[in-house]
Amino acid sequence: MHPIARRLTVIAVPALAAAGAMLPAAHGAATVTGGAPGPRPAVHEAADTTKEQRTVKKFWTSAKMEAAEPLDAPRAGDRHFAASTSATSSAGAASTSGSGAQPVVVSPTPPASSGGSASSAKPGATTPAARTLAAGAAENVSSANVTSAKVSAQTSGSPWTAGGTVAKTTGRVFFTVAAGPDTGRNASCSGTAVTSANKSVVITAGHCVKLNGAFHANWVFVPGYDRGERPHGTWPATTLLTTPQWNSGENMNYDLAAAVVAPQDGKSLTDVVGGQGVAFNQPRGRQTYAFGYPAGAPYDGSRLVYCGGRTFDDYLSSQDQGLSCGMTGGASGGPWFVRFDASTGGGLLNSVNSFKYNFAPYWMFGPYFGPEAEAVYNTAQKTALT
């Protein structure tokens, strides 16, 4: 990794360190958000033909996946933390009752095989409505995959052993870097399957789809990755999307992205693994659970890891929120959930793992999900499948 700055694992700050409408998911699909359109995302065609998709899947052998390394970041001087009017106003709106940006919540989607249907609720209602862990609490939970497990609301980075929806919808992202000093290198991030109209959307970080001015190649999502196993298949991206701010200047306030993946064996992604709910324009400082596949020491990328705690504002260089978390490189793009239910493994995705300061490896930061994130999500879920 770069000695000055590492993506997710470390980013240096030059001055300090040397450098709500409810969207019910009818029949398991999300309804497209109404209201004023958000900023237009950047859209990139990836493996958008059947032939290209076969080629990408064949490219990713088990050996290549195991050898993939966390992505190096460019030098700290290339990172942009400048606050924008949009980011600032979004944060203010979310914390002030009755102001501009309205909270938006999208219900989760169970896999088609579960026989259930997505829940619906009024704006602001808890989804799912089952037991939620409070800050500082811990309780015994059970799931289809594990009889009993101790899940803590406060952890800096522990293996997730409680199974549930999060163990299926969270996965590793693999790609080949297309520009910069790491050109041609196979790398890894994390991502999450979310409920969507086309049943095929993965949310991740902006740098996990584009860096140094170029979109990555050979992009695939492997949900439920577990010590080399791919229990739910390998899903090539047909389309990659990110915010205009990340696309044009790699602004860390907007380090988020989405991928639309091709159906496999006649089935769409969320039909197979389900989809987590998504929330935009939410209050800050909430109890949050972060997940990912860290691959930098002391982790090796083989297992799903989680952190839990209450978020805090980054007053140093960005408009992001922070979380006490020891996950390392490779966890980039992994989900942050509010209203997370440890008994089901379901929650509302409200940010992603983005970066760390090199003087504070015990803090993780993630972008605020405001209008820009909502626009990326809506554009992704309206993208036609190929």
For residue range 329-349, what is the model confidence (pLDDT) as tens digits? 999 999 999 999 999 999 999
pLDDT-derived band of residue 37, with 50, 70 and 90 as boundaries?
low
What's the pLDDT score for residue 153?
A: 78
Instruction: Give the 3-state secondary structure of residue 124.
Output: coil
Q: Could you report the per-residue pLDDT of 183-206, keeping only the tens digit for each?
A: 999 999 999 999 999 999 999 999
Share of the chain above pLDDT 70, in %: 73
Measured between alpha carbons, how far is 218 from 67 in angstroms, rounded to an integer? 15
pLDDT-derived band of residue 13, with 50, 70 and 90 as boundaries?
very low
Q: Which range among 17-31, 83-97, 242-256 shows the weakest confidence by mean pLDDT?
A: 17-31
Q: Could you report the per-residue pLDDT of 88-98, keeping only the tens digit for each?
A: 344 444 443 33
β-strands 104-106, 22-23 pairing: parallel
Instruction: Give the 3-state secondary structure of residue 23.
Output: strand
pLDDT-derived band of residue 156, with 50, 70 and 90 as boundaries?
confident
Q: List the structure tokens of 79.
A: 């990172």
Which residues are within 8 A (CB) of 169 and not within 5 positions of it... i.e. 6 or more apart? 192, 193, 194, 223, 273, 274, 275, 276
How many other C-beta atoms are found inside a 10 Å radius of the C-beta of residue 245? 24
What pTM was computed for the model?
0.80
Choice between 21 and 304, residue whose per-residue pLDDT is larger: 304
For the chain, the farthest-separated pair of C-alpha atoms sits apart, in whole angstroms, at: 55
Measured between alpha carbons, how far is 47 from 386 in angstroms, rounded to an integer? 9
CB half-sphere exposure, 234, CA atoms < 13 A: 20
> CA of 373: how far to CAs of 87, 205, 244, in Å?
11, 11, 10
CATH 2.40.10.120 fits 14-19+21-382, yes or no: yes
The neighbouring-strand residues paired with 107 are none
Q: Which range among 75-79, 133-137, 167-171, 324-328 shows the weakest confidence by mean pLDDT?
A: 133-137
Measured between alpha carbons, how far is 27 from 314 in angstroms, rounded to an integer? 39
What's the pLDDT score for residue 112?
A: 80
> CA of 152: how far to CAs of 192, 309, 342, 355, in Å?
21, 9, 9, 23
In this predicted structure, the answer to whether residue 71 has a pLDDT above a threshold of 80 is no
What's the pLDDT score for residue 21?
A: 27
User: Highest mean pLDDT range out of 86-95, 117-126, 302-311, 354-363?
Assistant: 302-311
Instruction: Give the 3-state secondary structure of residue 373.
Output: helix
9 class by beta-carbon count within 10 Å (0-12 exposed, 13-18 middle, 19+ buried): buried
In this predicted structure, the answer to whether residue 125 has a pLDDT above a threshold of 80 is no
Measured between alpha carbons, how far is 240 from 115 in angstroms, rounded to an integer? 30
Chain-wide mean pLDDT for the chain? 79
Q: Could you report the per-residue pLDDT of 254-298, keeping only the tens digit for each?
A: 999 999 999 999 999 999 999 999 999 999 999 999 999 999 999
Output phi, psi for 28, to 5 deg. Answer: 85, 10
What's the pLDDT score for residue 145?
A: 27
What's the pLDDT score for residue 130?
A: 27
pLDDT-derived band of residue 113, with 50, 70 and 90 as boundaries?
low
- Token pair 């939620």 in the structure block, residue: 132
> CA of 4: how far to CAs of 12, 130, 178, in Å?
6, 44, 21
Which residues are within 8 A (CB) of 3 and not within 5 positions of it... i.e. 6 or more apart? none
pLDDT-derived band of residue 114, with 50, 70 and 90 as boundaries?
low
Going from N- to C-terminal start, the domains of the chain cover 14-19+21-382
What's the pLDDT score for residue 12?
A: 40
Q: Which range among 87-91, 124-128, 225-229, 284-288 shows the weakest confidence by mean pLDDT?
A: 124-128
Mean pLDDT of 49-69: 96
Mean pLDDT of 6-24: 35
Read off the amino acid at residue 91.
A
Q: What is the DSSP letter of 6?
A: B
